[in-house]
Chains A and B, each alone.
Chain A
């Protein structure tokens, strides 16, 4: 993860499902409990 201030952002492989099919993308999600 990457620290920005007190926040930690973590890279996530995120699954996307459309009518054409399923695939994954890499996004950032904050670990907001820290």
Chain B
């Protein structure tokens, strides 16, 4: 597995500032509305350039906190480049601000809170009648919805709590799950410590909507391999996370046309997310789940098979890569290159999984090439890194980690809960890994 683990730490994350990075590179951040799982992802409508807000005035001699009105000049995820009213076309004092901090409010909040608006001292002299100026500037302009701050608060509460028990993929043995305990929750990301970990260091990070975590009892219910734990007594306070907290999968009818053992397909290699590989359905489980093996790299005991749901956006019909000009990774040791599916199916006496069984839905995701975002390094999922969308194939995004070679790129679904808007780390208190 290609991992950047241990290669970070040269630049403290506090020194990385998205604002100048976005401006210097003349780039844009993916809009918050592209990330439905992220805070405010479903209620970011109407937040755009030109919107006015009330924000702390940092250019004042007042001893108490005072506010002034600013205009959103540019948006990048949660972050906005702001210009105080009165600066007109002068951009010299523009500043970046995360819109979800408690000091950002809709216009009108100061008056309702009894706080006067005070213009920045460097432009105080510019107008003798600030009332007339503000009436002219604000009439007909847009501001945030009145309950913006309430929504931000609601959207940063998460139902998973410390000591909740879940079933999660065994990171050292992908074909099975283990019981783990929620140890930490940051911005909806969970630090799970495997049960039986002596010192609590045997952990795994994933988002609460990750397809890798399930309620207790899930493995048994679908016939998935499971590492039984020797822990017989629950520590006080431990509770099984309620099933309704987990992401639902689509119901499928397996009784008629469905995947069968031995069928061939193309799949993202979970141990090298840069590659889409020749793969085989190894076992059909209940509720639409499949055990998949990457051809040519399978352990004899099936220990590197992994579980994907039949509707997963990470599995593709035979020919997907060719149609979309993506390099298909042929089975390790297969020497007849270039790889031809027709020959391979004949040689292995196998059939391709029918195209109709795959998820062909393409959401109107809104991502565009070149957009910046914060993305989990899925090879080291505790790390959230500065990244760029470099390619879009239907719903599939190619994520490049800024400052790293292309070989570390990862294929990620557009609805992956491991992608976040610019400013997500700052908002949630998660450490952001800057470009190398």
Chain A residues whose CB sits within 8 angstroms of the CB of B114 once the complex forms = 17
Instruction: Tell me whether B143 and A17 are in contact (CB under 8 A).
Output: no
A11 to chain B, nearest CB (A): 9
Cross-chain contact A28 with B131 (CB below 8 angstroms): no
Of the candidates A15, A30, A32, the one whose C-beta lies within 8 Å of that of B108 is A15
| Residue contact B142 to A28, C-beta cutoff 8 Å | yes
Q: Which of B45, B110, B111, B138 contacts A27 (CB 8 A)?
A: B138
Given A14-B108, A23-B131, residue A29 in contact with residue B146 (CB < 8 A): yes
Stretch in contact with the other chain, from B86-94, B115-123, B286-294: B115-123
Q: Is B43 an interface residue (CB 8 A)?
A: yes
CB within 8 Å of A: which B321-344 residues: none
Q: Does B112 belong to the interface (CB within 8 Å)? A: yes
B308 beta carbon closer than 8 Å to chain A: no
B429 at interface, CB cutoff 8 A: no
Q: Assess the A32–B46 pair: CB atoms within 8 A.
A: yes
A17 to B151, CA, bound (A): 24
Within 8 A of A (CB), among B119-155: 130-131, 134-135, 138-146, 151
- Which residue of A14, A18, A34 is within 8 Å of B130 (Cβ)? A18
| Residue pair A27, B140 in contact (C-beta under 8 Å) | yes
A19 touches B118 (CB 8 A): yes
Instruction: Name the distance in Å between A8's Cβ and chain B's nearest Cβ.
Output: 9
Residues of A within 8 A of B281 (CB): none
B34 within 8 A of partner (CB): no
- A25 and B108 alpha carbons, distance in the complex (Å): 9
Is the beta-carbon distance between B142 and A30 smaller than 8 angstroms?
A: yes
Contacts of A22 on B, CB cut-off 8 Å? 111
A26 to B140, CA, bound (A): 6
**Chain B residues closer than 8 Å to A21, beta-carbon distance:** 131
Query: A20 contacts which chain B residues (CB < 8 A)?
Result: 130-131
Pair B143/A28 contact, Cβ less than 8 Å:
yes
Chain B interface residue count: which class? 20 to 34
A29 engages B142 (CB within 8 Å): yes
Q: How far is it, in angstroms, between the C-alpha of A16 and the C-alpha of B117 when the chains are bound?
A: 8
Query: For the complex, what is the distance from the CA of A25 to the CA of B117, rounded to whole Å?
Result: 14
Cβ–Cβ < 8 Å partners of A14 in chain B:
106-108, 138, 143
B 88-110 binary contact with A (CB < 8 Å = 1; else 0): 00000000000000000011101
Question: B209 near A: Cβ within 8 Å?
Answer: no
Most-contacted residue by chain B among A7, A12, A17, A33 (CB, 10 A) = A17
Say if the beta carbon of B18 comes within 8 Å of chain A.
Answer: no
Please, how many angstroms separate the alpha-carbon atoms of A27 and B51 in the complex? 10
Bound-state Cα–Cα, A24 to B140, Å:
12
B52 at the interface (CB under 8 A from A): yes
Q: How far apart are the CA atoms of A12 and B109 in the complex, in Å?
A: 13
Query: Nearest-CB distance from A22 to chain B (Å)?
Result: 6
| B204 interface residue per 8 A CB criterion | no
Q: Please give, as numbers and ranges, the residues of chain B lying within 8 Å of A17 by CB-CB distance.
A: 110-111, 114-117
Instruction: Report yes or no: A29 in contact with B144, Cβ–Cβ below 8 A.
Output: yes
Closest CB of chain B to A32's CB: distance in Å?
4
Q: Report the Cα distance A20→B131, complex, angstroms.
A: 8
A31 and B139 within 8 A (CB): no
Residue from B114, B141, B145 whose CB has the most chain A CB atoms within 10 Å: B145
B246 interface residue (CB < 8 Å to A): no
B408 at interface, CB cutoff 8 A:
no
Q: Confirm or deny: B226 has a beta carbon within 8 angstroms of a beta carbon on chain A.
A: no
Chain A contacts of B45 at CB under 8 A?
6-7, 30, 32, 34
Question: B44 interface residue, CB < 8 Å from A?
Answer: yes
Closest chain B CB from A18 CB (angstroms): 5
Interface of A toward B, CB cutoff 8 Å:
6-7, 9, 12, 14-23, 25-34
Chain B residues with CB under 8 Å of chain A are: 43-47, 52, 106-108, 110-112, 114-118, 130-131, 134-135, 138-146, 151
28 A-B pairs whose Cβ atoms sit less than 8 Å apart in the complex = A9-B46, A9-B142, A12-B108, A12-B146, A14-B107, A16-B111, A16-B131, A17-B114, A17-B117, A18-B130, A18-B134, A19-B118, A20-B131, A21-B131, A23-B135, A25-B135, A25-B139, A26-B139, A27-B52, A27-B107, A27-B140, A27-B142, A29-B142, A30-B47, A30-B142, A32-B44, A32-B45, A32-B46
Closest 5 CB pairs of A and B: A30-B46, A15-B111, A17-B111, A14-B108, A32-B45
